[in-house]
Amino acid sequence: MKHNWQRANGNDIADIIQLSDTHFRTEADTIFIPDKVAGSRNLTFAIVNQFYTPTNEILAICRDAAGKLLAYTWAKNNQVTPWSDEKMIVVQMAHLALDLNTRKRVELLTDMLEIWEQFAKDCKTPIICSTTMRREQSAFLKLHAKYGYDVRGSYAYKRIDLEKTTL
């Protein structure tokens, strides 16, 4: 990985909410009414879940040397599709500061792909599902395709070899 990531803790919640509100509010606010209290509560549950059941959820953050939050990703295990009971990791969020240069954003997203794959291996869950609701999604999904995901609309799926990573 290009950057130093760690699992989030309760002290990170305010920064995660701020990053989401600053960079992604306009992606959701025409559909959903963003609620910082609900967001904080859901992040708190995820942090508690990853502490007590580390193969159920992961919420990872990346900060720069000055402590500024650059990105975070959140994924859940044991999710299923309507057409199969086979378990998969579903990515809930993959957010980063959009004021970063393109190279840094690609590095952070590539790190996220690696985090998800390692989490899937740790959980022994062979499928990863990443989705996007962003209006402009082509670069995000092209990066998935580059790393072996099968892109279908705004969904990207990958069946991984639990013994070996492809990144």
Residue 166 counted as domain residue = no
- What is the rounded end-to-end Cα distance, in angstroms, of the chain? 10
Q: Which of 40-44, 114-118, 134-138 has the lowest mean pLDDT?
A: 134-138
Residue 94 counted as domain residue = yes
β partners of residue 90: 76, 129
Residue 167 counted as domain residue = no
Residue 41 counted as domain residue = yes
Residue 26 counted as domain residue = yes
Dihedral sign for Cα 42, 48, 54, 60, please: positive
Residue 164 counted as domain residue = no
Residue 97 counted as domain residue = yes
What does the alpha-carbon distance between residue 39 and residue 92 come to, in Å, rounded to a whole number?
A: 12
What does the alpha-carbon distance between residue 81 and residue 113 come to, in Å, rounded to a whole number?
A: 21
Structural domain count, the chain:
1
Range of the domain at 109: 5-159
CATH code assigned at 104: 3.40.630.30
CA 9 from centre of chain:
16
Residue 64 counted as domain residue = yes
Phi, then psi, of 130 in degrees rounded to 5: -120, 135
Give 47-100 pLDDT, tens digit per residue: 999 999 999 999 999 999 999 999 999 999 999 988 899 999 999 999 999 999
What does the alpha-carbon distance between residue 105 and residue 114 come to, in Å, rounded to a whole number?
A: 14
**SS3 label, residue 126:** coil
Phi, then psi, of 162 in degrees rounded to 5: -65, -10
Q: Is the pTM of this model over 0.75?
A: yes
pLDDT for residue 121: 94
**Average pLDDT for the chain:** 91
